[in-house]
Amino acid sequence: MLNNTSIQHFKRATPTTVWGILLILFFSPFTFIQAQDLHFSQFFNSPLTTNPANTGFIPDADYRMGAHYRNQYSNIMAVPYKTMSIFGDAQVFRNRLENGWLGLGGVILSDVAGSGSLRSTKVYGSVAYHQMLGESSLLSAGFNLGWANKRIDRSNLKFPDQFDENLGFFDTRVPTTVMLANTSISYFDMQVGMNYAYFPTEDVYINAGYSVHHVNKPKESFFKDNATGSGVVPMRQIGFINALLKVDPRVIINPNIYYTTQAKATELLVGLNMNYNLGDAGETQLIAGAYYRGKDAVIPMLGFELSTVRFTFSYDATVSALKNFNNSRGALEFSLIKKGFYADNADRQSLCPKF
């Protein structure tokens, strides 16, 4: 689906080229499959959307706040896809529960497709419980509940039966046979998840998690309900494993593996971050890394950590067939995270390697 500005952007292209771009965008291995969720390449910097059991799962702090921004396809769409989020979570009752604590948090997500033809807003509240198992492992379980809204601007929509192959553009004067029942829909949503962390020494930390999203199977459709059950948001499963390994007094590496599946869409993301200590006690760190999303993109990353604030940039360099249209320029992503300790808990022992 293209908006008015996008048509101007493609007006010199042949119909075959236009439809080729659309087919790749909407049917590529993982990016825009039917009813697929919003996603970030820096999934590790969006903990509450990755797994609700991550709420309060902060091995090196008591609380954290973050913001995330993703800009995608800016060179082939006149108005690019933009995804934004803000989140916060904290550990509570750490001194009241024996060898455990609660995590409380929340996240707000916003997504704009093109010039506003499709907008999504999601608000979630998360709760998790974390229990120490001995002195070197931690088990966590959590869930979140939220409200989601999607809305469209019908005036910006173009439909296949309005495309004139002779003229090479969409003719909005031609009436469409597509009938929409609503232009705004809302529903409640629920996710559940579990985490496990193992930290046998001060230099080794291993973490794995699994979560299921949309367990209540909400309905999401702008069309009238029918007996086929269409419009149900398919459940999404996410699994990940990562580690923090201090391999040198000035170097900590962070390998990551992330896999998700929803309906017939799958995503596998593998890569590595490295933190290099530029200061005396880790107050200044250089962050560098690279990731690969299967059959889709190579993702270099660069960032800094200054005291308790970390900011990282990454770029999706397309390697799929879409590179023929976007010249390998996929998506820019930026993450900002602030961590801290409570005033009466500044000396708490970190569970993961640190400088």
3-state DSSP of 146-180: EEEEEEECHHHCCCHHHEECCCCEECCCCCCCCCC
Least confident of 14-18, 148-152, 291-295, 321-325: 14-18
3 state DSSP class of 243: strand
> For the residues 161-186, what does the mean pLDDT come to?
78
- Statement: residue 310 has pLDDT above 60: yes
Neighbours of 72 (CB within 10 A): 22
How far is Cα of residue 82 from the mean position of the Cα atoms in its chain? 12
> For the residues 67-74, what does the mean pLDDT come to?
89
In contact, 124 and 48? CB cutoff 8 Å: yes
Least confident of 9-18, 134-143, 228-237, 258-267: 9-18
Q: How confident is the model at residue 29 (pLDDT cuts 50, 70, 90)?
A: very low
The confidence score (pLDDT) of residue 31 equals 37
Least confident of 192-201, 244-253, 340-349: 340-349
- Statement: residue 131 has pLDDT above 90: yes
The confidence score (pLDDT) of residue 174 equals 78
Least confident of 148-157, 220-229, 336-345: 220-229
Least confident of 38-47, 87-96, 156-165: 156-165
The amino acid that residue 221 corresponds to is S
Q: What percentage of the chain exceeds 90 in pLDDT?
A: 59
Neighbours of 154 (CB within 10 A): 11
> For the residues 89-111, what does the mean pLDDT come to?
93
What residue numbers bound the domain in which 175 lies? 4-345
Q: How confident is the model at residue 317 (pLDDT cuts 50, 70, 90)?
A: very high
> For the residues 71-87, what does the mean pLDDT come to?
83
Cα(296)–Cα(317) distance, rounded to whole angstroms? 8
How far are the Cα atoms of 43, 180, 217, 288, 324 from residue 302, in angstroms, in the given order?
15, 44, 38, 5, 26
Q: Is residue 353 part of a domain?
A: no
Q: Which CATH number covers residue 188? A: 2.40.160.40
Task: Select from 348, 90, 350 the least CA-distant residue to 205.
Answer: 350
The confidence score (pLDDT) of residue 7 equals 31
How far are the Cα atoms of 5, 134, 164 from residue 103, in angstroms, in the given order?
45, 20, 55
Cα(320)–Cα(134) distance, rounded to whole angstroms? 46
The confidence score (pLDDT) of residue 57 equals 95
Length in residues, the chain: 355
Cα(266)–Cα(268) distance, rounded to whole angstroms? 7
Run of H or E including 49:
helix 47-50
> For the residues 230-252, what does the mean pLDDT come to?
94
Q: Is residue 280 part of a domain?
A: yes
The confidence score (pLDDT) of residue 9 equals 35
The confidence score (pLDDT) of residue 30 equals 38
Q: Is residue 307 part of a domain?
A: yes
In contact, 207 and 215? CB cutoff 8 Å: no
More confident residue, 129 or 4: 129
Task: Select from 184, 272, 261 the least CA-distant residue to 221.
Answer: 184
- Statement: residue 113 has pLDDT above 60: yes
Q: Is residue 220 part of a domain?
A: yes
> For the residues 181-208, what does the mean pLDDT come to?
95
Q: Is residue 354 part of a domain?
A: no
> For the residues 332-352, what does the mean pLDDT come to?
86
Q: Is residue 135 part of a domain?
A: yes
Domain tally, the chain:
1
Task: Select from 213, 127, 10, 182 the least CA-distant residue to 2.
Answer: 10
Q: How confident is the model at residue 78 (pLDDT cuts 50, 70, 90)?
A: low
Exposed e or buried b per residue across 219-232, where buried means at least 16 C-beta atoms within 10 angstroms of its C-beta: ebbbeeeeeeeebe
The confidence score (pLDDT) of residue 156 equals 72
The amino acid that residue 347 corresponds to is D
More confident residue, 83 or 80: 83
Q: Is residue 350 part of a domain?
A: no
The amino acid that residue 70 corresponds to is R
Q: How confident is the model at residue 229 (pLDDT cuts 50, 70, 90)?
A: low
More confident residue, 24 or 150: 150
Mean pLDDT of the chain: 85
Q: What percentage of the chain exceeds 70 in pLDDT?
A: 85
Task: Select from 235, 212, 241 the least CA-distant residue to 51.
Answer: 212
Q: Is residue 38 part of a domain?
A: yes
